[in-house]
A and B are shown apart, each in its own frame.
Chain A
Amino acid sequence: MAESNGVIAVRGSGRPVGRYGLRFVALGYLLVLLAAPVAMVFYRAFRHGLGPIWSSLTTSEARSAIEVTLIVAVSAVVLNTLFGVGAALLLVRRQFPGRHLLDVLVDIPQAVSPIVVGLALILVYGKFGFFGSWIERNGLKIIFSLPGMVLATAFVSLPLVVRSVAPVLAEIGDEQEQAARTLGASSWQTFRRITFPSIRDALAYGVVLSLARSLGEYGAVTVVSGHVVGKTVTLTLFIDERLQNFDQTAAYSAAVLLAIIAMGSLLISRRLRTRSRSRA
């Protein structure tokens, strides 16, 4: 188990002081950085019991924020799943000019700050943007509405599905797919019956990761959302807005909700990852 967490246990590494010292530093660091702040959020939220949490999460604004978050996150995840599987297949199974470029492009969202992503989307799709004016003339609105938020969210979580699926595709190789072809299977049958079952766990892992990332996205979304209350405010934006208005109970309650969803996803993804590894 130690290896699967990326930690290598070194046994008998000298004096007990050194050994315990290292543990103390590692755990202390995590406590200061992670455990204490998260615990504080929970403490603040639950300080007066469940009642205030419930009422602050059932206001029409909060309910709308939850709804918008789910719509945006689920749409972004669907887009990324389709693109992710397609891109992974292209990258691993095909040789074509521009393959290396695609490989590099896929990782760009991880390197670029989400704010920059948001700004870039405005430049392209905004009212005075490259496509924006044409799009608006045709009655569509992307920036300061849901489609823009979906695009921004999809952009920042784009590599997660590709990078979960591609290594598994590379590892299983294409012999099973070739065998299916010689047995008379069409491309679609080969994908559905051979490729998909082999990448299913890795794909689920990527989907959960990108869902967690999408639910928590703030930077890119805040730029393109326009903060229209009840329409384009997600949970993260809602938390920010409540904090600005000194409504701490609502802010902490929403934060706890997000934290619980995120931790839930993390637990699921862990189980999926161990399952896909033990099978391979």
Chain B
Amino acid sequence: MSISVRNVSKTFAQFKALDNVSVDIPTGSLTALLGPSGSGKSTLLRVIAGLDTADEGTVSIEDRDATHLPPQRRGVGFVFQHYAPFKHMTVYDNIAFGLTVRKASKAETKAKVTELLELVHLEKFQTRYPAQLSGGQRQRMALARALAVEPRVLLLDEPFGALDAQVRKELRTWLRRLHDEMHVTTVIVTHDQEEAMEVADEVVVLQDGRVQQVGAPAEVYEHPANDWVMSFLGPVTHFGDLLVRPHDLDLAHEPSDDALPATVVRVTRLGFQTRVDMESKGAPIYAQLAREATGRLTLEPGAQVHVRHVRGESVPARVGATPIADDVL
């Protein structure tokens, strides 16, 4: 194990940010800490880096107890959400910083920084100051700066959070490729399910300072541990007392044993998919259908249909837990 977090708790004033958290992160993997804001994911990352100290529990990095080590002796590279560029230094000096404080020779520093500038495509910008860079360029500079000291572990706090959608997607793909080339154990913190699913080998889902589930992206999506994880990772709708994915539902005009009768309320066409909002015994339910499925049905408001759960996972819906039902397509 590259990073091993054992029974870590951390409280800020009255707020319990981490509650008995244990996580193992395998060497060479890319792991995402995924959760909504306030779930403790950033705090966990900062505890691993030594920027915050745990009230209880231990952290070990590469089988060495790091619980009481200061950040500069943990061998971690940390990329801050807002990149924390050294404003008074050029791009070159920013990237060289870790080598400079280690008193590396000029030639050695130059070779390493040049290599990194190429890696992050900033060769042409090395004499600029951070204020003269775009968000994406600053992000890449911050990454190069963290990589310069050859960390055993690379930690990224919401690395794409402050970028616009297009740059975000590009950098995400680029980060994944970079990781596949360098194989440095990487942990990224994100609140974006799609980002975690796309980039990570393994996802740690956090809520209210607790680990809800750990697993490969497909595994946590298809076999969520509970209703909260299920509704956090993707769209859900109520199917009787169960929570299901709306794209796992099918509609028919004929009744069957396992089907719920419902009345169509609204039909929305969204490109290749159609969203059908219905009402079943006074409760709202919606299905996401492929184009060919809608072709064989006559769907208009008021039509009587029968809803079946044809594939995928279902979990019992807890009373009082209201899932986020329809903000994700």
On A, residues with C-beta under 8 Å from B are 175-176, 178-186, 189, 193-194, 197-198
Q: Is the CB of B101 within 8 A of A183?
A: yes
Which B residues lie within 8 Å of A186 (CB)? 72, 101
Contact B72 A175 (CB under 8 A): no
CB of A175 to closest CB in B, whole Å: 4
The answer to whether A194 and B72 have CB atoms under 8 Å apart is no
- In this assembly, does B40 line the interface, its C-beta being within 8 Å of a C-beta of chain A? no
Q: Are A184 and B102 in contact (CB under 8 A)?
A: yes
CA distance A180 to B100 in the complex (A): 11
Among A178, A181, A182, max chain B CB count under 10 A is at A182
Contacts A179-B78, A180-B101, A184-B102 aside, 20 further interface pairs with beta carbons under 8 A come to A175-B80, A175-B82, A175-B84, A176-B85, A176-B87, A178-B51, A178-B78, A178-B80, A178-B84, A179-B86, A179-B145, A182-B50, A182-B76, A183-B77, A184-B98, A185-B72, A185-B97, A193-B97, A193-B100, A194-B86
Least CB distance, B95 to chain A, in whole angstroms? 10
Nearest-Cβ distance from residue A79 to partner chain B, whole angstroms: 27
Docked Cα-Cα span, A276 to B101, in Å, equals 26
Closest partner residue, chain B, to A196 (CB atom): B88
Max chain A CB contacts within 10 Å: which of B51, B80, B101?
Answer: B101
Which among A175, A176, A183 is the interface contact of B146 at CB below 8 angstroms?
A183
Fill in one digit per residue for B51-90: 1 if any A CB lies within 8 Å of its CB, else 0: 1000000000000000000111010111010101111100
Contacts of B49 in A (CB 8 A): 182
Question: Smallest distance from the beta carbon of A201 to chain B beta carbons, Å?
Answer: 11
Closest chain-B Cβ to A278's Cβ sits at a distance in Å of: 12
Bound state CA distance, A179 and B72, in angstroms? 10
Enumerate chain B residues within 8 angstroms of A197, measured Cβ to Cβ: 88
Q: Flag whether B149 is at the interface (Cβ < 8 A).
A: yes
Question: When A and B form their complex, which 6 residue pairs have the shortest distance between CB atoms, in order from nearest?
Answer: A183-B98, A175-B84, A179-B84, A182-B78, A185-B101, A181-B71
Q: How far is the CB of B158 from chain A (nearest CB, A)?
A: 13
Given contacts A179-B80, A189-B101, contact A198 B87 (CB under 8 A): yes
Q: Cα distance A185–B148 when bound, in Å? A: 13
Alpha-carbon separation in the docked complex, A186 to B70 (Å) = 10
Bound form: Cα–Cα A240–B98 in Å: 57
Find chain A residues with CB under 8 A from B149 CB.
Answer: 183-184
Contacts of A193 in B (CB 8 A): 97, 100-101
Contact B71 A182 (CB under 8 A): yes
- Contact partners of B97 in chain A: CB under 8 A: 180, 183, 185, 193
Which among A178, A184, A198 is the interface contact of B88 at CB below 8 angstroms?
A198
- 16 A-B pairs in the complex with CB atoms less than 8 angstroms apart: A178-B51, A178-B80, A179-B145, A180-B97, A182-B51, A182-B71, A182-B72, A182-B76, A183-B98, A183-B148, A184-B98, A184-B102, A185-B97, A186-B72, A186-B101, A193-B101
Tell me, in angstroms, the Cα distance from A100 to B267 when the chains sit together.
61
Closest to A181 in B: B71
When distances are taken between beta carbons in the complex, the residues of chain B under 8 Å from A182 are 49-51, 71-72, 74, 76-78, 146
Query: What A residues does B146 contact at CB under 8 A?
Result: 182-183
User: A183–B76 Cα gap in the complex (Å)?
Assistant: 8
Enumerate chain A residues within 8 angstroms of B70, measured Cβ to Cβ.
181
Q: Are A184 and B72 in contact (CB under 8 A)?
A: yes
List the A residue with the shortest CB-CB distance to B49: A182
* Cβ distance B26 to chain A, nearest Cβ, rounded Å: 22
Q: Specify which chain A residues have a CB less than 8 angstroms from the CB of B142 in the assembled complex.
A: 179
Chain B: CB-nearest residue to A185 = B101
Residue of A nearest to B81 (CB): A175
Q: Which residues of A contact B100 (CB under 8 A)?
A: 193
A185–B82 CA distance with the chains assembled, in angstroms: 20
User: In the assembly, what is the distance between CA of A186 and CA of B73, in Å?
Assistant: 10
A183 near B80: Cβ-Cβ < 8 Å = no
A179 to B80, CA, bound (A): 8
Give every chain B residue within 8 A of A184 (Cβ-Cβ). 72, 98, 101-102, 149
A179-B86 Cα distance, complex, nearest whole Å: 9
Residues of A within 8 A of B102 (CB): 184
Q: How far is the CA of A34 from the CA of B50 in the complex (A)?
A: 56
Q: Chain B CB within 10 Å — which of A179, A193, A194, A197 has the most? A: A179
From the candidates B71, B74, B77, B101, name the one contacting A178 in the complex (CB within 8 A). Answer: B71
| Least CB distance, A181 to chain B, in whole angstroms | 4
Q: How far is the CA of A176 from the CA of B72 in the complex (A)?
A: 14
